[in-house]
Structure 1
Amino acid sequence: MTVTVARHGVPGPDAERFAERLSEQVAGRVDRLERSADAIDFAFSTALMALQAHCVGDPEAAKLETWEATVNAMQLGSALFAVTGASEGTVECRINGKMRTLPRIGPQSFADAGNWLSAFWLAVVCREQQRMTQLCEIPLERLRSPEGQYEEFMYHWVDVLQTYWLQRPGLVDKLIAAIEGSNPEVARSVPRDLLQGVLYPPINLFYHFVRKHEEGFSPALVEALELHKAYWTLNEEREADIDGTLALGPLAMACLAYDGGLPVEVESGYLPKYLLEHGWLGEFPT
């Protein structure tokens, strides 16, 4: 039986125009990247916001504009790691409908585990297997924040995903390390509600997915979305934050399960239907 998890919030009267303005900002920032890629992290964060804004008024991702926003965010996430991989030369990237030559800028603090996860989730949602492989081939040490921004379990988690996708050995041990490291008694620097409501649920979903646990995946997905909702509705400030519109990590896990033949018996505005079911796949070059 399909379970519905209602998304919080109601689109305002100017939701569509707000999404359009953000997409226009993304287009402008993408055009400037060919002169200098130093601000690619701002372009990526704006593209993520634009995607979330489109999903506010289009919770099923039934409109082409929402798919375009998804693809732009995915392309910018991949480009961010492409341009920070070396300090010299250029890299060819397709972004916002055309091939672009971007200057490499060398290692940057924003090319970290957090942005890697967002970029990887987007590549999964867009079913961009080549980009998934490219992201998974990035050495883990390259993603470590010099400021020690993340707890160790975040790097274990990235290692789990890279190991799974590239079919490297040691997946079980690495997954156990990620699960144990995300225990609130271990990851003490992370706010407990953030850890339990946002960061841990994708790890739990992956556990059910990789075990091919047909009876357990959908209940775990429902729990993940309810935790996501609880986190983003804890107070008025969070409830008004557009970041809560889309449950990107759980969506990516649901896409893996859907493509892998596991039943995904959940409907929610946090999981846009046509992104989950790859309804726009092949609509235009990505």
Structure 2
Amino acid sequence: MTMILSRQDYPKDDMAAVVPVMEGSLSYSLEKIETSHNSRSDVVMESLNVALVRCVEDPTAGMLETWESWLLAMQVHSAVFAAADPDRETVTCKIRQEERHLATTGPQTYLNADTWLDAFYLAMICREAARLNMLARIPVSLLRDFGGTLDEYTYAWVETLQSFWLRRDDLRTHLVRAVDLSAAEHAHVVDADEMTKLRYPPIMMLYRYLRNDPAGFNDALADAVRWHKEYWTADEDRTRNILGVVALAPLAIACLAKANGIPVEVQSDYLPEALLDFAWRGEFDA
């Protein structure tokens, strides 16, 4: 039985009005992405924001422009990590159907584990195996060298996803550690509410997926969507935050499950249908 879970209301007209401005800023940042660290940091944030804001007016992601924005966000997030290789001078990445030659960087503030997770989720949503292979081989030590502090859970979850994708024997060890570190008492950088309602649910979804438990998986997905809504509607500031429009991590794990034969029985605008179904398959050379 399909579970239908509603999304909070957003001011569609107001958000649609800012899309051209956001697109203009994104295009400006893209012009300098080959050499400018500041532009790379900006384009990572701006590309995801554009993809999210387009899903306010187009909640199923059924419009061509919406899919293009998600594809671009995936390309950009993957490209900045491909360009982190300190052993090369440049890397060539396709971004908006153009070959871009990015100077390599080594560790940077925007190359942190949270950005890596967004990159991995976007590549899962776009079913980009080659980019997932690249991301799964990014050393966690590089993600730790970005100059800031993240909760230890974040690194455990990165290692879990890398082990899962590369089919390593240490998957169970990393998964158990991620579960343990996602307990609210281990939340120091993020608050306990974020840890419980946003960080923990994707772990349980992956666990149910690994157990090949369709019923348990869909229960975990439904919980993830409900908690996502609870978190992003808890106060006025969160309600206005564009990051709440799509449940990015649950969507990514749901895309993985659906691509591998587990039926997804949760329907919600937090999980845009065309992204979940990979409706634009073959329309673009990513």
Normalising by structure 2, what TM-score?
0.95
In the alignment, is residue 94 of structure 1 matched against residue 124 of structure 2?
Answer: no
Residue 56 of structure 1 aligns with which residue? 56
In the alignment, is residue 198 of structure 1 matched against residue 198 of structure 2?
Answer: yes
Letter of the 1:241 partner, please give it. N
* Runs of 5+ unmatched residues, structure 1: none
State whether residues 108 and 146 of structure 2, in contact with CA within 8 Å, keep that contact through their aligned partners in structure 1.
no
* Range that drifts further, 44-53 or 177-186: 177-186
Mapping for residues 133-152 of structure 1, pairs under 5 Å: 133-145=133-145, 147=147, 149-152=149-152
Residue 103 of structure 1 aligns with which residue? 103
In the alignment, is residue 157 of structure 1 matched against residue 154 of structure 2?
Answer: no
CA deviations on 1:199-236 (whole Å, 9 max, x unpaired) are 11111111111111111111111110110000000111
List structure 1 segments (4+ residues) > 6 angstroms apart after TM superposition: none
Per the TM alignment, residue 91 of structure 1 is displaced from its structure 2 partner at its CA by 1.1
Residue 258 of structure 2 aligns with which residue? 258
Mapping for residues 194-273 of structure 1, pairs under 5 Å: 194-273=194-273
* Range that drifts further, 213-222 or 78-87: 78-87
Letter of the 1:118 partner, please give it. D
**Alignment partner of 1:100: what SS?**
strand
In the alignment, is residue 9 of structure 1 matched against residue 6 of structure 2?
Answer: no
* Range that drifts further, 96-105 or 72-81: 96-105
1:169, 1:211 → 2: CA distance?
16
CA RMSD of aligned residues (A): 1.5
Letter of the 1:55 partner, please give it. C
State whether residues 137 and 162 of structure 1, in contact with CA within 8 Å, keep that contact through their aligned partners in structure 2.
yes
2:38, 2:72 → 1: CA distance?
18
State whether residues 60 and 274 of structure 1, in contact with CA within 8 Å, keep that contact through their aligned partners in structure 2.
yes
CA deviations on 1:110-152 (whole Å, 9 max, x unpaired) are 2111000000000000000000000001111111155452121
1:155, 1:280 → 2: CA distance?
32
Per the TM alignment, residue 99 of structure 1 is displaced from its structure 2 partner at its CA by 1.0
Per the TM alignment, residue 15 of structure 1 is displaced from its structure 2 partner at its CA by 3.0
Residue 19 of structure 2 aligns with which residue? 19
2:259, 2:88 → 1: CA distance?
38
1:191, 1:86 → 2: CA distance?
34
Residue 282 of structure 1 aligns with which residue? 282
Normalising by structure 1, what TM-score?
0.95
2:67, 2:146 → 1: CA distance?
35
Residue 30 of structure 2 aligns with which residue? 30
Q: How many corresponding residue pairs?
A: 286
State whether residues 37 and 102 of structure 1, in contact with CA within 8 Å, keep that contact through their aligned partners in structure 2.
no
CA deviations on 1:233-275 (whole Å, 9 max, x unpaired) are 0111110111100110000010011011112101111100000
State whether residues 37 and 104 of structure 1, in contact with CA within 8 Å, keep that contact through their aligned partners in structure 2.
no
State whether residues 107 and 143 of structure 2, in contact with CA within 8 Å, keep that contact through their aligned partners in structure 1.
no
* Range that drifts further, 270-279 or 102-111: 102-111
* Runs of 5+ unmatched residues, structure 2: none
Letter of the 1:101 partner, please give it. H
* Range that drifts further, 99-108 or 7-16: 7-16
2:193, 2:187 → 1: CA distance?
12
Per the TM alignment, residue 281 of structure 1 is displaced from its structure 2 partner at its CA by 1.5
